[in-house]
Amino acid sequence: MSRYHQPKVGWNETRRLVALDMDMFGEWPLAFGAFPASRPRWMLFFYLFFTAHMFPAVLLYRLQVFFHDAGLKPLATLISRFNHSIFSVTIGNNVRTSGGLYLAHGYVVIDGIVNLGHSVQVAPFVTIGLTNSEGRPFDLVGPTIGDHVNIGTGSRVLGPIRIGDHVKIGANSVVVHDVPSHHTAVGAPARSFPTVSREERARAQLASPPEEDA
């Protein structure tokens, strides 16, 4: 398949993705007992639809892509404009995800030929898409982002770059180069460094010798 064409998303795939979106948005209500885990999934759907602020925005994006790929492009455009007007979310028809997508708040733009992995969390005021910088020719292909990626508030992830799995992107970062898996990217332009988990920091503190009093 050409790098300028995305695979079509049918109804069964749309339902699978919405179920994964529900898992992400439902994590906190289930963990804190706001929604009993014993209740059926259809009740969780309506609970999230009416209480999780950005779940309807992700749902609208799923329907937009489904109708676009089904050949109902005017309807897809109408849904996209509604999403932008109500939730301040603009996601292009060529954006694909392989799993759940979590939007914390609005003012999000994702456009171009963009591929997102599973469990991608996007904070507000984030742009993921194309670049037209002098150092790189314009391309319709945007970022490819891996699984379990957290993109901080105000960040920009631009151009045909690759973001690995388990990556954290700091607030207001501008990412224009590849970021390896298990790294954190911060700054403008962003630089990446290996992410150190809490467990690793705790082990390092235990292993380090105690400081002697002067």
pLDDT digit string, tens, across residues 13-62: 999 999 999 999 999 999 999 999 999 999 999 999 999 999 999 999 99
Distance CA 189, CA 147 (A): 23
pLDDT at 213: 58
Sign of CA dihedral 90, 95, 96, 99: negative
Is the Cβ–Cβ distance between 145 and 119 less than 8 Å? no
Domain ranges of the chain: 11-207
Structural tokens at position 167: 């990556």
Distance CA 12, CA 64 (A): 15
Structural tokens at position 8: 């079509």
Is the Cβ–Cβ distance between 69 and 99 less than 8 Å? no
Which CATH class name applies to 11-207?
mainly beta
Sign of CA dihedral 148, 117, 165, 41: positive
Distance CA 88, CA 204 (A): 43
For the chain, residues with pLDDT lower than 70 are 1-3, 133-137, 197-205, 208-214
pLDDT at 132: 75
pLDDT at 77: 96
pLDDT at 56: 98
Element (H, E) at 156: strand 156-158
Residue 126's beta-bridge partner residues? Answer: 108
pLDDT at 133: 67
Structural tokens at position 2: 């050409």
Can you list the alpha helix ranges (DSSP code H) found in the chain?
11-25, 27-31, 41-51, 55-69, 73-87, 198-207
Query: Is the pTM here over 0.75, yes or no?
Result: yes
pLDDT at 193: 92
Structural tokens at position 81: 């404009």
pLDDT at 196: 75
Is the Cβ–Cβ distance between 192 and 183 less than 8 Å? yes
